[in-house]
Structure 1
Amino acid sequence: MLSNYLKEKTANYHNEIETKLESNKLFDGTFSDGNYYKMLQVNHQFLKVYENAIKNFLTTKDIDVLAQTNFDKTALIEKDLQELNLNNLTFETEANLSNRAEAFGALYVIEGSMLGGNVIAKTLKKYPNLEHKSFNYFGHYGENLGQSWKTFLAYINEEFTTEEELNQVFEGAKKAYEDLISFA
């Protein structure tokens, strides 16, 4: 099953980005506003590089089946940056996706980060300087997050079944993680 394959093959990348963004500080009470700001800026740059590239490979069926998926998270994160009076970071990078399978690998990274984002938003609301912030990006799925993620996983498990497709989806996830890590 592709989703299990991706989880196993990308675990090191996932751990590396969490380390670079110091996500562990969320749970020991040492996470700062600066950590949150960096997390937003890094994710903003990542979305700016990947969202349109991914959309270029999606079919009408993809968009219909994944109707719960928000394919414009850049606008949400830009609202958060504006609310916090933060500048957008700029990197000279383009997504190097070659096909639909790789695009779904990158989308796996984006959608998977929403699971952690929900926890981040709930935790940060406990911080006095952030308790009244909107968390448009990290909290936008709200109570629909679980169902959206399950739908996404079920769809990629149905759509990409050959060994070649598994490798292509992983390659897209790998490229996305490597860029995300380089932005941090």
Structure 2
Amino acid sequence: MITQRLRSETADRHQALESAMFVHEIMSRSLSFDQYRQILAVNLLAHELIEPGLFAGFDPEIAAELGLDSRKKLPALRQDAAEAKLDPARFPRIDPGEMVFPQKSAASQLGALYVLEGATLGGNMIRRQLVQIPHFEGLSFAYYGIYGDALAARWKHFQSVLEIYVSPGKAQNCLDAANSMFDNLLLISQRVSGSFAV
């Protein structure tokens, strides 16, 4: 199954990204406000660079099957950024030529989307931790709560679409796109942490 291969063959990059995105601090409820703003900056910048082109390139049949428009994260991230008084004008500039975007194929596009959808999979659990931290009182965490109670169902549906549209012969394209997307996110994270004063 392609979902199992994606999980196992992106594991190293996934772990590196979790470290860069302060997952330990989130789960231990020790995340600072500045660290949260850094996470927001990475996610918002990544989605600004990736989401419009990726979503626009999807085959209409697959887009309809996924309910793709309802999977856009930019509105929620912009809401969270405004609440956290995060100014996108201060984000580091990243040349799109430094990034690797998916090929115009269903397998590659679904591999890239696997990373973005997977990033929200733990959203409800993360949100439950964040709302327990006193200095986050009043924030809505729209991104982490984006699918609400439908989170598990939407993830399962996405997995089923992966299995239908990624044939064994196209599996490597899907895996390559997923790993490239993790690399993109790690690049953005490094730039934000290295040159953006949160």
TM-score (norm. length: structure 1): 0.93
Name the % identity: 25
What do the CA deviations read for 1:48-102 (whole angstroms, capped 9, x no partner)?
1111121132122112211276342112101110111111224323352212222
The separation in 1 between residues aligned to 2:9 and 2:60, in whole angstroms, is 29
> Which segments of 5 or more consecutive residues in structure 1 lack a partner in the other structure?
none
CA separation of 1:59 and 1:5: change in aligned 2, threshold 3 A: same
Size of the alignment, in residue pairs?
A: 183
Contact kept, 8 Å, 1:25 with 1:31, in 2: the verdict is yes
> Does structure 2 conserve the Cα–Cα contact (< 8 Å) formed by 1:50 and 1:106?
no
| One-letter code aligned to 2:156 | K
1:173 is the counterpart of 2:172 = no
**Displacement of 1:127:** 1.0
Q: Which has the higher helix share?
A: 2
For residue 183 of structure 1, what is the aligned residue in structure 2?
188
Amino acid at match of 1:54: L
CA contact (8 A) 1:68 1:148 kept: no
Aligned-residue offset at 1:134: 1.1
Which is further off, 125-134 or 36-45? 125-134
Structure 2, unaligned runs of 5 or more: 190-198
Note if contact 1:45-1:91 (Cα within 8 Å) is conserved in structure 2. Answer: no
Question: What are the within-5 Å matches in structure 2 for residues 17-96 of structure 1?
Answer: 17-67=17-67, 70-88=70-88, 89-94=91-96, 96=101
- The equivalent residue for 2:114 is 108
Cα drift, residue 136 of structure 1: 1.2
TM-score (norm 2): 0.86
